[in-house]
Amino acid sequence: MLLKNLKYRNKVLLILAPVLLAVFAGLLVVYTISCRDLTKEHTERLERASRRAQDLMGVDVSVLLENLNAFRTDEGIISFFQGKTASLELRKNLGPAFKRLSMDSLELFNKEGRPLFILSKKGLPVPSRIMNKNVVSGFGKTPRGIEIIAAGPVIRNGGIIGFVETSRVMDNSFLAELAETTGAEHSIITDSAVAASTLANTGLPYRPKGGKLNISGKVYSVDEMPLKDMSGKVIGRFVTAISDAPLEGSLKRIRLYTSLVGAWAVLVLAGLAVLLISTLVNPLKEMVQVVDRIARGEFRPLVVRGKDEIAVLSGRFNMMQSQLKTSRGEIERYTQNLEKIIEERSEELKRVERQLMRSRKMESLGVLAGGIAHDFGNLLSAILGYASIAKDELGPEDPQYKYWDIVEQAATRGADLVAQLLTFSLGTAEAGRMQNVNINRLAGEFVKLITATFPKSISIQTGFYGKPLHIRGESTSIFQAMLNIAINARDAMPEGGRLLMETRPFRADEDFVRSHPEGLPGDYVLISISDTGAGIKKEDMERIFEPFYTTKQAGKGTGLGLAIVYGIVKKHGGFIEVDSQEGKGATFTLYLPASAEPENTAPQALSKTQKN
């Protein structure tokens, strides 16, 4: 309601205001996420440096323990404790090796704890007197600061003859080595005092605040680890620090970039507001004035500026004015369109008339078929009778018996066909003739017939499904449909070729039905008949199932074969699919609804009407 009462100029500004707020909110979110990620990365770097320093100190402890074990088993030291070696001789023997080891002192104590011998790289240390029956390691506090210490007894013949202690001082040089490896600064703190450090705060008290350390205006992030002696008492802290300068520099850059983007967004939106007002609001005012002039009967075209939507709308206004001026031309064009509509309706009426004529032709065909079928049925009755007599006289063992059997089967199919023609002529179907039929069995009989009657130049191949396939239908009609397709295939291969007949089950899903609107979802039995003949031309594909349409020469075909096939398949609730290319043969696929019931064992009997 608020926008409805505002002028368009104010609407533009009111709409752009939330956009500007959204831009700033987005910038704030980006800034917050970026700061959080940088701070997290800075903290992770500090943690990695601290863990790395602790790992390196662990390595030092391991080295001291290795050196300790070597000294505890050294024969010279054992001889020293047994009074067999003098201190000067021991110093002479151990001195070169000691200088190469990663430790600062070596101390020997007798079993009462009195110091007997000391080697030191950095001045004499104060004896730690760590008397323990087991090997121990940890940190120790001396006047020189904190040391890493490893100590243990020297055992000979099951008894302790003395003690050995090795150490490394955690002084500035030690911390400098860690700093070079970890990329961070390190300090050793005892009693809130700095014992050693790589920072410039050696003489300053250590007072971190909130994990931060400020030294001469420089801020560091710190991480601490307690240093405990062998008894578990905390004697100091190991501090790892990294400078916050890189983090602050990155945050300053982010703030600068965010401010620049925000300022740029303000300028862009301000410019957009000015542009919208100048290019949209002002032309709309002119359009209102044009409408007022049109209401007064004045026609004055708008000045079209640019190619944007407002310019297009201005052009439409000018077109509207032009159309109003030329209304007579519009009426003439409407008259022409009306004539075109009348012509299209006439064509539609002609098409309906042609369909009516085709329907009457089919009715005439039904009357003719009924008359011919009645007489032809009598002829087939005679053929059946003589074939039966011939079979009785010859017997099954006679070589001619199988041919008379084929004649009898063909005549029986013909009689059934006559019955169907009579039914077709009456426009009804005999529901009682519908039975459960095994398509594989019926196809096998069909192949026997065409193998015996088709030219030997045509190779007949089969690919039947391994299990019975049942449908609900008339076996004679299905047989006739297969025969009509096979005869067309034979005629398409006058020089010979290959005819392939296949059967298989098929399930039609929703996707298949969308591309085959004649079908319904469900289970089908497929009968596929393929040939390598001349194929079907593209312009003939849409008409091959029309009655009386044939591509054969005059007198060669009636044009009813495929029409009958189409009617038989539709009568059984199925549909047909044809795939053909000119010169590459054709494939006819019959889709017949499958039946779950087995085939009827009793043969179909001819009705009285068929026998007559």
Average pLDDT, the chain: 79
Q: For 27-54, what is the mean pLDDT?
A: 86
- pLDDT for 496-518, tens place per residue? 999 999 999 999 998 888 777 78
At residue 357, the pLDDT reads 57
At residue 224, the pLDDT reads 87
Q: How many helices (H) and strands (E) does the chain have?
A: 15, 17
- Out of 78-82, 195-199, 516-520, 553-557, which region has the weakest mean confidence (pLDDT)? 553-557
At residue 467, the pLDDT reads 92
Nearest to 605 by CA among 419, 478, 472, 424: 419
Could you tell me if 130 and 149 are in contact, meaning their C-beta atoms sit under 8 angstroms apart?
Answer: yes
Could you tell me if 445 and 603 are in contact, meaning their C-beta atoms sit under 8 angstroms apart?
Answer: no
476 pLDDT more than 70: yes
Q: Can you tell me the distance from the alpha carbon of 100 to that of 92, in angstroms, rounded to the nearest whole number?
A: 14
366 pLDDT more than 60: no
Q: Band the pLDDT of 391: cuts 50, 70, 90.
A: confident
Q: Can you tell me the distance from the alpha carbon of 595 to that of 472, in angstroms, rounded to the nearest whole number?
A: 6
606 pLDDT more than 50: no
Task: Return the amino acid letter for 455.
Answer: P
The burial of 401, by beta-carbon neighbours within 10 Å (0-12 exposed, 13-18 middle, 19 or more buried), is given as middle
Which H or E element spans position 99?
helix 87-100
Per DSSP, the three-state class of 260 is helix
351 pLDDT more than 90: no
Could you tell me if 516 and 508 are in contact, meaning their C-beta atoms sit under 8 angstroms apart?
Answer: yes
- pLDDT for 221-249, tens place per residue? 888 889 888 888 888 888 888 888 888 88
Interior angle at CA 205, CA 203 and CA 210, nearest 5: 135
- Out of 221-225, 279-283, 344-348, 394-398, which region has the weakest mean confidence (pLDDT)? 279-283
At residue 558, the pLDDT reads 59
Residue scoring higher pLDDT (322 or 66) = 66
Q: How far lies 415's CA from each of 199, 367, 446, 476, in Å? A: 116, 18, 16, 9
Q: Can you tell me the distance from the alpha carbon of 451 to that of 195, in angstroms, rounded to the nearest whole number?
A: 110
Domains of the chain with CATH codes: 11-16+18-247 (3.30.450.20), 429-611 (3.30.565.10)
At residue 471, the pLDDT reads 92
Q: Band the pLDDT of 359: cuts 50, 70, 90.
A: very low
At residue 504, the pLDDT reads 95
Could you tell me if 461 and 489 are in contact, meaning their C-beta atoms sit under 8 angstroms apart?
Answer: no
At residue 428, the pLDDT reads 38
User: What is the Cβ-side half-sphere exposure of residue 549, based on CA atoms within 13 angstroms?
Assistant: 12
Bridge pairing between strands 105-110 and 115-120: antiparallel
Max mean pLDDT among 130-139, 261-270, 365-374, 583-592 falls in 583-592
- pLDDT for 103-138, tens place per residue? 888 889 988 888 888 888 876 665 666 777 888 888
Partnered with residue 225 across adjacent β-strands are 238
Q: What is the pTM of this model?
A: 0.43
Q: For 69-80, what is the mean pLDDT?
A: 88
